[in-house]
Chain A
Amino acid sequence: MIEVLQAGLCDLVMDLGRPGRAALGVPAGGAADRAALAAANRLVGNDPSAAGLEIILSGPRLRFPSGGVVALTGARFDAVRSSGVPVAWNETLVLAAGEALTVGRVGTGCRCWMALRGGLASPLVMGSRSTFLPAGFGGHRGRPLQAGDRQRCGAPAAEVKLGRAMPPASEAEEGLRVVAGPQIGQFDDRGLARFFGTDYRVQPASDRRGLRLAGARIGHRRVELPSQGVLPGAVQVPPDGQPIILGWDGPVTGGYPVIAGVIAADLPKLAQLKPGDAVRFVTVEIEMARALAAAPLEIRELG
Protein backbone atom coordinates (compact mmCIF):
# COMPACT_ATOMS: atom_id res chain seq x y z
CA MET A 1 0.00 0.00 0.00
CA ILE A 2 1.22 3.50 -0.83
CA GLU A 3 -0.25 6.84 0.17
CA VAL A 4 0.43 9.87 -1.99
CA LEU A 5 1.42 12.71 0.34
CA GLN A 6 2.30 15.02 -2.52
CA ALA A 7 1.93 14.35 -6.25
CA GLY A 8 4.73 14.82 -8.76
CA LEU A 9 4.33 16.59 -12.08
CA CYS A 10 2.67 13.56 -13.70
CA ASP A 11 3.02 10.20 -11.91
CA LEU A 12 1.44 7.47 -14.02
CA VAL A 13 0.78 3.81 -13.28
CA MET A 14 2.42 1.85 -16.11
CA ASP A 15 3.09 -1.75 -17.06
CA LEU A 16 4.15 -3.11 -20.45
CA GLY A 17 1.00 -1.79 -22.16
CA ARG A 18 -1.83 -3.25 -24.24
CA PRO A 19 -0.49 -4.16 -27.70
CA GLY A 20 -2.76 -5.64 -30.38
CA ARG A 21 -5.69 -3.23 -30.13
CA ALA A 22 -4.79 -0.59 -32.70
CA ALA A 23 -7.76 -1.55 -34.88
CA LEU A 24 -9.94 -0.10 -32.07
CA GLY A 25 -7.94 3.12 -32.15
CA VAL A 26 -6.09 2.15 -28.96
CA PRO A 27 -2.27 2.40 -28.99
CA ALA A 28 -0.13 -0.12 -27.09
CA GLY A 29 1.06 2.53 -24.61
CA GLY A 30 2.85 1.25 -21.51
CA ALA A 31 6.17 2.22 -19.92
CA ALA A 32 8.22 4.53 -22.15
CA ASP A 33 11.26 2.34 -21.39
CA ARG A 34 10.13 -1.26 -20.99
CA ALA A 35 13.59 -2.52 -20.06
CA ALA A 36 13.90 0.04 -17.27
CA LEU A 37 10.54 -0.96 -15.75
CA ALA A 38 11.40 -4.66 -16.14
CA ALA A 39 14.75 -4.13 -14.37
CA ALA A 40 13.04 -2.33 -11.49
CA ASN A 41 10.49 -5.14 -11.22
CA ARG A 42 13.23 -7.73 -11.09
CA LEU A 43 14.88 -5.93 -8.16
CA VAL A 44 11.71 -6.28 -6.07
CA GLY A 45 10.94 -9.88 -7.06
CA ASN A 46 8.10 -9.01 -9.47
CA ASP A 47 7.20 -10.38 -12.85
CA PRO A 48 8.62 -7.96 -15.50
CA SER A 49 5.05 -7.03 -16.48
CA ALA A 50 4.01 -5.84 -12.98
CA ALA A 51 2.69 -2.28 -12.80
CA GLY A 52 4.91 0.44 -11.35
CA LEU A 53 5.12 4.21 -11.54
CA GLU A 54 6.48 6.27 -14.40
CA ILE A 55 7.72 9.58 -12.99
CA ILE A 56 8.61 12.64 -15.05
CA LEU A 57 10.82 15.67 -14.24
CA SER A 58 9.61 16.16 -10.65
CA GLY A 59 8.37 13.25 -8.57
CA PRO A 60 5.94 12.50 -5.74
CA ARG A 61 6.26 12.13 -1.97
CA LEU A 62 4.94 8.69 -1.05
CA ARG A 63 4.28 7.09 2.36
CA PHE A 64 4.41 3.34 2.98
CA PRO A 65 2.09 2.72 6.00
CA SER A 66 3.09 -0.93 6.32
CA GLY A 67 6.55 -0.62 4.78
CA GLY A 68 7.57 -1.88 1.38
CA VAL A 69 10.25 -2.96 -1.03
CA VAL A 70 10.89 -0.64 -3.98
CA ALA A 71 13.46 -0.01 -6.70
CA LEU A 72 14.08 2.95 -9.00
CA THR A 73 15.57 2.81 -12.50
CA GLY A 74 15.93 5.25 -15.39
CA ALA A 75 17.04 8.88 -15.05
CA ARG A 76 18.38 9.77 -11.62
CA PHE A 77 16.24 12.10 -9.56
CA ASP A 78 17.13 13.90 -6.37
CA ALA A 79 15.39 11.44 -3.99
CA VAL A 80 15.55 10.94 -0.22
CA ARG A 81 14.07 8.67 2.46
CA SER A 82 12.40 9.97 5.67
CA SER A 83 15.77 9.80 7.41
CA GLY A 84 17.23 12.18 4.85
CA VAL A 85 19.40 9.44 3.37
CA PRO A 86 19.65 9.76 -0.42
CA VAL A 87 18.02 7.00 -2.44
CA ALA A 88 20.25 4.84 -4.63
CA TRP A 89 19.21 3.96 -8.18
CA ASN A 90 19.17 0.41 -9.60
CA GLU A 91 19.07 -1.10 -6.10
CA THR A 92 16.54 -2.90 -3.94
CA LEU A 93 15.34 -0.61 -1.11
CA VAL A 94 13.54 -1.87 1.97
CA LEU A 95 11.32 0.74 3.63
CA ALA A 96 10.12 0.53 7.23
CA ALA A 97 6.45 0.84 8.17
CA GLY A 98 5.45 4.50 8.03
CA GLU A 99 8.51 5.53 6.09
CA ALA A 100 8.20 8.09 3.29
CA LEU A 101 10.11 8.44 0.06
CA THR A 102 10.47 11.81 -1.65
CA VAL A 103 11.36 11.85 -5.33
CA GLY A 104 12.42 15.40 -6.11
CA ARG A 105 13.75 16.82 -9.36
CA VAL A 106 15.47 15.00 -12.17
CA GLY A 107 19.17 15.56 -12.84
CA THR A 108 20.04 14.55 -16.41
CA GLY A 109 17.22 13.04 -18.46
CA CYS A 110 13.48 13.08 -17.92
CA ARG A 111 11.86 9.88 -16.63
CA CYS A 112 12.35 7.23 -13.99
CA TRP A 113 10.42 4.07 -13.03
CA MET A 114 9.56 2.85 -9.56
CA ALA A 115 8.68 -0.78 -9.01
CA LEU A 116 6.93 -1.80 -5.79
CA ARG A 117 6.99 -5.32 -4.42
CA GLY A 118 3.79 -7.06 -5.53
CA GLY A 119 3.11 -4.45 -8.22
CA LEU A 120 0.45 -1.73 -8.11
CA ALA A 121 -2.98 -3.38 -8.08
CA SER A 122 -4.82 -0.99 -10.41
CA PRO A 123 -7.57 -2.87 -12.27
CA LEU A 124 -6.77 -4.41 -15.63
CA VAL A 125 -8.42 -2.41 -18.42
CA MET A 126 -8.24 -4.01 -21.86
CA GLY A 127 -5.53 -6.33 -20.62
CA SER A 128 -3.25 -3.75 -19.00
CA ARG A 129 -2.91 -1.57 -15.90
CA SER A 130 -1.20 1.23 -17.86
CA THR A 131 -2.69 4.70 -17.69
CA PHE A 132 -3.90 6.00 -21.05
CA LEU A 133 -4.33 9.72 -20.39
CA PRO A 134 -5.74 10.79 -23.79
CA ALA A 135 -8.93 8.78 -23.15
CA GLY A 136 -8.74 8.74 -19.35
CA PHE A 137 -8.67 5.03 -18.64
CA GLY A 138 -6.33 2.50 -17.04
CA GLY A 139 -3.91 3.10 -14.18
CA HIS A 140 -5.28 4.96 -11.17
CA ARG A 141 -8.75 6.08 -12.33
CA GLY A 142 -7.34 7.02 -15.73
CA ARG A 143 -5.36 9.97 -14.36
CA PRO A 144 -2.02 10.92 -12.75
CA LEU A 145 -1.69 10.32 -8.99
CA GLN A 146 -3.01 13.04 -6.69
CA ALA A 147 -2.30 13.85 -3.05
CA GLY A 148 -4.51 11.64 -0.88
CA ASP A 149 -4.59 8.71 -3.33
CA ARG A 150 -3.98 5.26 -1.91
CA GLN A 151 -2.87 2.33 -4.02
CA ARG A 152 -2.68 -1.28 -2.95
CA CYS A 153 -0.04 -3.70 -4.14
CA GLY A 154 -0.65 -7.25 -5.31
CA ALA A 155 0.83 -10.50 -4.06
CA PRO A 156 4.59 -10.76 -4.71
CA ALA A 157 5.63 -13.14 -7.50
CA ALA A 158 8.93 -14.31 -6.04
CA GLU A 159 11.34 -13.90 -3.16
CA VAL A 160 13.24 -10.66 -3.17
CA LYS A 161 16.90 -11.18 -3.78
CA LEU A 162 18.43 -7.97 -2.56
CA GLY A 163 20.58 -6.72 -5.33
CA ARG A 164 21.60 -4.18 -7.85
CA ALA A 165 20.75 -4.32 -11.53
CA MET A 166 20.21 -1.99 -14.40
CA PRO A 167 18.79 -2.03 -17.89
CA PRO A 168 21.29 -2.05 -20.75
CA ALA A 169 22.92 1.34 -21.13
CA SER A 170 21.88 3.16 -24.29
CA GLU A 171 24.73 3.60 -26.74
CA ALA A 172 26.78 6.64 -25.95
CA GLU A 173 26.82 7.75 -29.58
CA GLU A 174 25.07 10.95 -30.48
CA GLY A 175 21.82 11.06 -32.32
CA LEU A 176 18.55 9.23 -32.64
CA ARG A 177 18.85 6.38 -35.11
CA VAL A 178 16.10 6.24 -37.72
CA VAL A 179 15.17 4.27 -40.82
CA ALA A 180 13.82 6.09 -43.88
CA GLY A 181 10.06 6.63 -43.69
CA PRO A 182 7.36 5.71 -46.22
CA GLN A 183 6.98 9.27 -47.57
CA ILE A 184 10.66 10.23 -47.65
CA GLY A 185 10.24 10.76 -51.41
CA GLN A 186 7.96 13.73 -50.78
CA PHE A 187 10.76 15.74 -49.20
CA ASP A 188 13.07 17.88 -51.29
CA ASP A 189 16.87 17.67 -51.03
CA ARG A 190 17.06 20.82 -48.96
CA GLY A 191 14.44 19.50 -46.54
CA LEU A 192 16.29 16.20 -46.18
CA ALA A 193 19.62 17.99 -45.68
CA ARG A 194 18.08 20.03 -42.90
CA PHE A 195 16.40 17.06 -41.25
CA PHE A 196 19.58 14.98 -41.18
CA GLY A 197 22.10 17.79 -40.85
CA THR A 198 20.83 20.15 -38.18
CA ASP A 199 19.71 19.98 -34.55
CA TYR A 200 16.06 20.11 -33.52
CA ARG A 201 14.92 21.24 -30.09
CA VAL A 202 12.27 19.48 -28.02
CA GLN A 203 9.34 21.84 -27.41
CA PRO A 204 7.37 22.28 -24.16
CA ALA A 205 4.15 21.05 -25.83
CA SER A 206 5.51 17.48 -25.79
CA ASP A 207 4.04 14.54 -23.93
CA ARG A 208 3.53 10.78 -24.20
CA ARG A 209 1.49 11.34 -27.39
CA GLY A 210 4.34 12.98 -29.21
CA LEU A 211 7.54 14.99 -29.00
CA ARG A 212 7.20 18.26 -30.84
CA LEU A 213 10.47 19.54 -32.28
CA ALA A 214 11.48 22.93 -33.65
CA GLY A 215 14.34 23.81 -35.97
CA ALA A 216 15.13 24.38 -39.64
CA ARG A 217 11.91 24.08 -41.65
CA ILE A 218 11.62 20.83 -43.59
CA GLY A 219 10.03 21.55 -46.96
CA HIS A 220 7.93 18.97 -48.75
CA ARG A 221 5.43 18.61 -51.53
CA ARG A 222 1.95 19.18 -50.17
CA VAL A 223 -0.21 16.36 -51.36
CA GLU A 224 -3.46 15.19 -49.82
CA LEU A 225 -2.25 12.14 -47.95
CA PRO A 226 -4.66 9.45 -46.76
CA SER A 227 -4.47 8.61 -43.04
CA GLN A 228 -2.05 5.72 -42.54
CA GLY A 229 -1.21 3.48 -39.64
CA VAL A 230 1.65 4.83 -37.52
CA LEU A 231 3.48 3.67 -34.40
CA PRO A 232 5.75 5.10 -31.71
CA GLY A 233 8.90 6.53 -33.25
CA ALA A 234 7.28 7.60 -36.54
CA VAL A 235 8.48 11.13 -37.39
CA GLN A 236 5.68 13.12 -39.01
CA VAL A 237 6.17 16.47 -40.70
CA PRO A 238 3.05 18.69 -40.70
CA PRO A 239 2.69 21.56 -43.21
CA ASP A 240 4.65 23.93 -40.93
CA GLY A 241 7.79 21.81 -41.56
CA GLN A 242 8.47 21.16 -37.84
CA PRO A 243 8.76 17.44 -37.06
CA ILE A 244 6.76 15.51 -34.47
CA ILE A 245 8.04 12.17 -33.15
CA LEU A 246 5.01 10.08 -32.20
CA GLY A 247 5.16 8.74 -28.66
CA TRP A 248 3.82 5.73 -26.75
CA ASP A 249 0.28 7.13 -26.42
CA GLY A 250 0.18 8.68 -29.89
CA PRO A 251 -2.65 8.13 -32.36
CA VAL A 252 -2.67 4.83 -34.28
CA THR A 253 -3.26 6.60 -37.61
CA GLY A 254 -1.94 9.89 -38.93
CA GLY A 255 -2.34 12.02 -42.03
CA TYR A 256 1.04 13.79 -42.24
CA PRO A 257 3.96 12.48 -44.30
CA VAL A 258 6.35 10.29 -42.31
CA ILE A 259 9.96 11.22 -43.13
CA ALA A 260 11.64 8.64 -40.87
CA GLY A 261 11.08 6.20 -38.02
CA VAL A 262 13.08 6.04 -34.79
CA ILE A 263 14.29 2.46 -34.35
CA ALA A 264 12.94 0.38 -31.45
CA ALA A 265 16.36 0.21 -29.80
CA ASP A 266 16.38 4.01 -29.47
CA LEU A 267 12.84 4.49 -28.12
CA PRO A 268 14.29 4.53 -24.54
CA LYS A 269 16.34 7.57 -25.60
CA LEU A 270 13.07 9.34 -26.51
CA ALA A 271 11.85 8.67 -22.97
CA GLN A 272 14.73 10.77 -21.59
CA LEU A 273 14.29 13.83 -23.82
CA LYS A 274 12.88 16.94 -22.19
CA PRO A 275 11.95 20.39 -23.48
CA GLY A 276 15.03 22.31 -24.59
CA ASP A 277 17.09 19.20 -25.40
CA ALA A 278 18.71 19.03 -28.84
CA VAL A 279 18.00 16.10 -31.17
CA ARG A 280 19.98 14.99 -34.22
CA PHE A 281 18.80 12.22 -36.54
CA VAL A 282 21.10 9.62 -38.09
CA THR A 283 20.08 6.87 -40.52
CA VAL A 284 20.65 3.15 -40.19
CA GLU A 285 19.59 0.23 -42.37
CA ILE A 286 16.52 -1.80 -41.45
CA GLU A 287 18.55 -4.97 -40.95
CA MET A 288 20.77 -3.21 -38.42
CA ALA A 289 17.74 -1.77 -36.63
CA ARG A 290 16.33 -5.29 -36.30
CA ALA A 291 19.59 -6.74 -35.07
CA LEU A 292 19.83 -4.02 -32.41
CA ALA A 293 16.22 -4.62 -31.32
CA ALA A 294 16.62 -8.41 -31.27
CA ALA A 295 19.29 -8.20 -28.58
CA PRO A 296 17.65 -9.59 -25.42
CA LEU A 297 16.54 -7.07 -22.82
CA GLU A 298 19.44 -8.07 -20.66
CA ILE A 299 19.60 -6.77 -17.17
CA ARG A 300 23.08 -6.30 -15.89
CA GLU A 301 23.54 -7.67 -12.38
CA LEU A 302 25.85 -5.40 -10.48
CA GLY A 303 28.25 -6.70 -7.83
Chain B
Amino acid sequence: MGKQTIGQPVAGQAGWRWVTERGLRVATGETTLARYRLLVSRALPDVEDIVPADDSLLLVLKRGAALPPSVRAALIEPLDEPSGAASGTRHEIAVDYGGAAGPDLNALARQAGMSEATYIERHAATEYTVAFLGFQPGFPYLRGLPDTLQAARRASPRQRVPAGSVAIGGRYTGIYPADGPGGWHLVGRVHAALFDPQRQRPALLMPGDRVRFVPS
Protein backbone atom coordinates (compact mmCIF):
# COMPACT_ATOMS: atom_id res chain seq x y z
CA MET B 1 0.00 0.00 0.00
CA GLY B 2 2.95 2.31 0.51
CA LYS B 3 4.08 4.06 -2.66
CA GLN B 4 7.15 2.48 -4.19
CA THR B 5 9.44 4.59 -6.29
CA ILE B 6 11.02 2.84 -9.24
CA GLY B 7 14.72 2.24 -8.64
CA GLN B 8 14.47 1.95 -4.85
CA PRO B 9 15.39 -1.35 -3.24
CA VAL B 10 12.31 -3.35 -2.41
CA ALA B 11 13.96 -6.32 -0.69
CA GLY B 12 12.08 -7.22 2.44
CA GLN B 13 9.28 -4.78 1.82
CA ALA B 14 6.79 -7.51 0.97
CA GLY B 15 6.11 -7.70 4.70
CA TRP B 16 5.42 -4.00 5.20
CA ARG B 17 1.80 -3.15 5.96
CA TRP B 18 0.13 -0.06 7.38
CA VAL B 19 -1.98 -0.50 10.53
CA THR B 20 -3.09 3.12 10.31
CA GLU B 21 -1.40 5.83 8.24
CA ARG B 22 0.90 6.42 11.24
CA GLY B 23 1.73 2.79 12.02
CA LEU B 24 3.91 0.66 9.75
CA ARG B 25 4.01 -3.04 10.62
CA VAL B 26 7.27 -4.59 9.41
CA ALA B 27 7.63 -8.39 9.36
CA THR B 28 11.04 -9.08 10.92
CA GLY B 29 10.92 -12.75 11.99
CA GLU B 30 14.02 -13.92 13.86
CA THR B 31 15.68 -10.55 13.43
CA THR B 32 13.10 -8.55 15.39
CA LEU B 33 15.34 -7.72 18.36
CA ALA B 34 18.41 -6.99 16.27
CA ARG B 35 16.41 -4.69 13.99
CA TYR B 36 14.78 -3.05 17.02
CA ARG B 37 18.20 -2.32 18.55
CA LEU B 38 19.53 -0.93 15.29
CA LEU B 39 16.53 1.39 14.97
CA VAL B 40 16.65 2.67 18.56
CA SER B 41 20.40 3.31 18.23
CA ARG B 42 19.70 5.82 15.45
CA ALA B 43 18.14 9.22 15.85
CA LEU B 44 15.35 8.54 13.37
CA PRO B 45 13.36 11.55 12.22
CA ASP B 46 9.57 11.59 12.51
CA VAL B 47 9.47 8.31 14.47
CA GLU B 48 7.41 8.60 17.66
CA ASP B 49 7.71 5.02 18.86
CA ILE B 50 8.97 1.55 17.91
CA VAL B 51 7.06 -1.47 19.20
CA PRO B 52 8.75 -4.86 19.05
CA ALA B 53 6.22 -7.70 18.85
CA ASP B 54 5.96 -11.34 17.82
CA ASP B 55 8.15 -11.53 14.67
CA SER B 56 7.36 -7.95 13.70
CA LEU B 57 8.02 -4.33 14.59
CA LEU B 58 5.54 -1.49 14.55
CA LEU B 59 6.98 1.88 13.61
CA VAL B 60 4.78 4.73 14.83
CA LEU B 61 5.31 7.93 12.88
CA LYS B 62 4.56 11.39 14.14
CA ARG B 63 1.16 12.72 13.16
CA GLY B 64 1.02 13.62 9.46
CA ALA B 65 4.57 12.40 8.69
CA ALA B 66 5.43 10.16 5.73
CA LEU B 67 8.04 7.41 6.08
CA PRO B 68 11.38 9.28 5.92
CA PRO B 69 13.97 7.87 3.46
CA SER B 70 16.50 7.37 6.28
CA VAL B 71 14.02 5.22 8.21
CA ARG B 72 13.20 3.24 5.08
CA ALA B 73 16.95 2.65 4.63
CA ALA B 74 17.40 1.59 8.28
CA LEU B 75 14.63 -0.98 7.83
CA ILE B 76 16.45 -2.78 4.99
CA GLU B 77 20.05 -2.23 6.11
CA PRO B 78 21.93 -5.52 6.62
CA LEU B 79 22.32 -6.57 10.26
CA ASP B 80 25.67 -7.43 11.86
CA GLU B 81 24.15 -9.90 14.27
CA PRO B 82 20.78 -11.01 12.90
CA SER B 83 19.52 -12.86 16.00
CA GLY B 84 20.13 -9.95 18.36
CA ALA B 85 20.66 -12.47 21.16
CA ALA B 86 23.28 -12.47 23.90
CA SER B 87 23.26 -8.79 24.75
CA GLY B 88 20.42 -8.42 27.25
CA THR B 89 20.62 -8.53 31.05
CA ARG B 90 20.34 -11.93 32.77
CA HIS B 91 17.75 -12.32 35.52
CA GLU B 92 17.08 -15.14 38.00
CA ILE B 93 13.57 -14.90 39.40
CA ALA B 94 12.28 -16.96 42.34
CA VAL B 95 8.90 -18.65 41.75
CA ASP B 96 6.40 -20.35 44.06
CA TYR B 97 5.09 -23.07 41.75
CA GLY B 98 1.71 -24.78 42.06
CA GLY B 99 -0.88 -24.71 44.84
CA ALA B 100 -2.80 -21.46 45.25
CA ALA B 101 0.00 -19.61 43.43
CA GLY B 102 -0.38 -21.81 40.33
CA PRO B 103 -3.94 -23.14 40.16
CA ASP B 104 -3.57 -24.51 36.60
CA LEU B 105 -0.31 -26.39 37.13
CA ASN B 106 -1.96 -29.70 37.93
CA ALA B 107 -4.23 -29.70 34.86
CA LEU B 108 -1.42 -28.54 32.55
CA ALA B 109 0.95 -31.24 33.81
CA ARG B 110 -1.71 -33.92 33.37
CA GLN B 111 -2.53 -32.67 29.87
CA ALA B 112 1.20 -32.86 29.04
CA GLY B 113 1.40 -36.38 30.46
CA MET B 114 3.88 -35.58 33.20
CA SER B 115 3.96 -35.01 36.94
CA GLU B 116 3.77 -31.53 38.44
CA ALA B 117 7.38 -31.93 39.58
CA THR B 118 8.55 -32.72 36.03
CA TYR B 119 6.59 -29.79 34.58
CA ILE B 120 8.21 -27.44 37.13
CA GLU B 121 11.65 -28.91 36.50
CA ARG B 122 11.35 -28.36 32.74
CA HIS B 123 9.85 -24.89 33.09
CA ALA B 124 12.73 -23.87 35.37
CA ALA B 125 15.44 -25.60 33.30
CA THR B 126 15.02 -23.28 30.33
CA GLU B 127 16.66 -19.91 29.76
CA TYR B 128 14.00 -17.65 28.23
CA THR B 129 14.47 -14.54 26.14
CA VAL B 130 12.16 -11.55 26.49
CA ALA B 131 10.72 -11.30 22.97
CA PHE B 132 8.63 -8.20 23.65
CA LEU B 133 6.42 -6.53 26.27
CA GLY B 134 2.71 -6.04 25.78
CA PHE B 135 -0.82 -6.67 27.06
CA GLN B 136 -0.09 -4.76 30.29
CA PRO B 137 2.80 -2.39 31.11
CA GLY B 138 5.81 -4.58 31.86
CA PHE B 139 4.22 -7.90 30.78
CA PRO B 140 7.06 -9.97 29.23
CA TYR B 141 6.43 -12.47 26.44
CA LEU B 142 9.18 -15.03 27.15
CA ARG B 143 10.38 -17.08 24.22
CA GLY B 144 11.90 -20.54 24.62
CA LEU B 145 9.07 -22.52 26.23
CA PRO B 146 9.67 -26.23 25.45
CA ASP B 147 7.08 -27.70 23.03
CA THR B 148 5.91 -30.20 25.65
CA LEU B 149 4.91 -27.39 28.05
CA GLN B 150 2.94 -25.34 25.53
CA ALA B 151 -0.84 -25.04 25.84
CA ALA B 152 -3.54 -23.05 24.02
CA ARG B 153 -5.06 -20.22 26.06
CA ARG B 154 -8.01 -20.88 28.38
CA ALA B 155 -11.39 -20.98 26.66
CA SER B 156 -12.69 -18.26 28.98
CA PRO B 157 -10.36 -15.74 30.60
CA ARG B 158 -10.28 -15.23 34.37
CA GLN B 159 -11.77 -11.95 35.61
CA ARG B 160 -8.88 -11.48 38.01
CA VAL B 161 -5.36 -12.85 37.79
CA PRO B 162 -3.15 -11.88 40.77
CA ALA B 163 -0.07 -9.72 40.16
CA GLY B 164 3.12 -11.78 39.82
CA SER B 165 1.39 -14.83 38.31
CA VAL B 166 3.65 -16.89 36.05
CA ALA B 167 1.57 -18.09 33.11
CA ILE B 168 1.57 -20.20 29.96
CA GLY B 169 -0.08 -18.90 26.77
CA GLY B 170 0.53 -20.77 23.52
CA ARG B 171 4.25 -20.88 22.83
CA TYR B 172 5.04 -18.23 25.44
CA THR B 173 5.45 -18.10 29.16
CA GLY B 174 4.94 -14.74 30.84
CA ILE B 175 4.41 -12.92 34.12
CA TYR B 176 1.39 -10.72 34.95
CA PRO B 177 2.79 -7.47 36.44
CA ALA B 178 -0.54 -6.30 37.89
CA ASP B 179 -3.91 -7.69 38.96
CA GLY B 180 -6.36 -7.89 36.09
CA PRO B 181 -8.22 -10.15 33.70
CA GLY B 182 -6.18 -12.78 31.87
CA GLY B 183 -6.58 -15.84 29.66
CA TRP B 184 -3.29 -17.67 30.25
CA HIS B 185 -2.79 -20.76 32.46
CA LEU B 186 -1.31 -19.94 35.87
CA VAL B 187 1.52 -22.17 37.09
CA GLY B 188 3.16 -20.10 39.84
CA ARG B 189 3.85 -16.67 41.29
CA VAL B 190 6.86 -14.40 41.71
CA HIS B 191 7.38 -11.71 44.34
CA ALA B 192 9.52 -9.48 42.14
CA ALA B 193 7.85 -6.21 41.06
CA LEU B 194 7.68 -6.48 37.26
CA PHE B 195 6.59 -2.89 36.70
CA ASP B 196 6.79 0.28 38.76
CA PRO B 197 6.18 3.54 36.90
CA GLN B 198 8.13 5.45 39.60
CA ARG B 199 11.37 3.55 38.99
CA GLN B 200 14.13 4.89 36.78
CA ARG B 201 13.66 1.73 34.71
CA PRO B 202 9.95 1.02 35.11
CA ALA B 203 9.99 -2.46 33.53
CA LEU B 204 12.11 -5.10 35.30
CA LEU B 205 12.48 -7.09 32.07
CA MET B 206 13.26 -5.51 28.71
CA PRO B 207 13.20 -6.95 25.17
CA GLY B 208 16.33 -9.07 24.72
CA ASP B 209 16.81 -9.79 28.46
CA ARG B 210 17.23 -13.42 29.50
CA VAL B 211 15.31 -15.05 32.34
CA ARG B 212 15.71 -18.19 34.45
CA PHE B 213 13.02 -19.21 36.94
CA VAL B 214 14.22 -20.63 40.25
CA PRO B 215 11.75 -22.76 42.24
CA SER B 216 11.55 -21.42 45.81
> Which B residues lie within 8 Å of A132 (CB)?
137
Chain B stretch 116-140: residues in CB contact (< 8 A) with chain A: 132-139
Question: Any chain B CB within 8 A of the CB of A253?
Answer: yes
Question: Any chain B CB within 8 A of the CB of A85?
Answer: no
Question: Any chain B CB within 8 A of the CB of A182?
Answer: yes
Please determine whether A253 and B21 come into contact, CB atoms closer than 8 angstroms: no
| A182–B51 CA distance with the chains assembled, in angstroms | 16
Please determine whether A230 and B18 come into contact, CB atoms closer than 8 angstroms: no
Contact with B along A175-193 (1 / 0, CB 8 A): 0001111110000000000
- Chain B residue with the shortest CB-CB distance to A183: B17
Please determine whether B207 and A253 come into contact, CB atoms closer than 8 angstroms: no
Chain B stretch 40-65: residues in CB contact (< 8 A) with chain A: 48-58, 60, 63-65
Question: Any chain B CB within 8 A of the CB of A125?
Answer: yes
Question: Any chain B CB within 8 A of the CB of A107?
Answer: no
> Which A residues lie within 8 Å of B54 (CB)?
226-228, 253
Stretch at the interface among A87-95, A108-116, A261-269: A261-269
| A295–B134 CA distance with the chains assembled, in angstroms | 32
Question: Any chain B CB within 8 A of the CB of A103?
Answer: no
Question: Any chain B CB within 8 A of the CB of A290?
Answer: yes
Please determine whether B20 and A227 come into contact, CB atoms closer than 8 angstroms: no
Give how many A residues have a beta carbon under 8 Å from the other chain's beta carbons. Answer: 48
Question: Any chain A CB within 8 A of the CB of B76?
Answer: no
- Chain A residue with the shortest CB-CB distance to B21: A289
> Which A residues lie within 8 Å of B195 (CB)?
24-25, 135
Please determine whether A229 and B56 come into contact, CB atoms closer than 8 angstroms: yes
Please determine whether B49 and A19 come into contact, CB atoms closer than 8 angstroms: yes
Question: Any chain B CB within 8 A of the CB of A214?
Answer: no
> Which B residues lie within 8 Å of A291 (CB)?
64
Please determine whether A290 and B66 come into contact, CB atoms closer than 8 angstroms: yes
Question: Any chain B CB within 8 A of the CB of A233?
Answer: yes
Please determine whether A23 and B197 come into contact, CB atoms closer than 8 angstroms: no
Please determine whether A25 and B19 come into contact, CB atoms closer than 8 angstroms: no
> Which A residues lie within 8 Å of B49 (CB)?
19-23, 28
From B18, B137, B139, A182 is in contact (CB under 8 Å) with: B18
Please determine whether A138 and B197 come into contact, CB atoms closer than 8 angstroms: yes
| A251–B1 CA distance with the chains assembled, in angstroms | 25
Please determine whether A231 and B197 come into contact, CB atoms closer than 8 angstroms: no
Chain A stretch 4-31: residues in CB contact (< 8 A) with chain B: 19-26, 28
Please determine whether A261 and B21 come into contact, CB atoms closer than 8 angstroms: yes
From B133, B136, B170, A135 is in contact (CB under 8 Å) with: B136
Please determine whether B134 and A251 come into contact, CB atoms closer than 8 angstroms: yes
Please determine whether B134 and A179 come into contact, CB atoms closer than 8 angstroms: no
From A126, A227, A234, A289, B53 is in contact (CB under 8 Å) with: A227
> Which B residues lie within 8 Å of A287 (CB)?
3
**Between-chain CB contacts (< 8 Å), 9 pairs:** A20-B48, A23-B206, A25-B135, A26-B137, A26-B202, A226-B54, A226-B55, A230-B58, A252-B51
Residues in A lying within 8 Å of B, measured CB to CB: 19-26, 28, 125-126, 132, 134-138, 178-183, 224, 226-231, 233-234, 251-253, 258, 261-264, 286-287, 289-291, 293-295
Given A227-B134, A229-B51, 4 extra CB contacts under 8 A: A24-B203, A25-B138, A26-B202, A253-B132
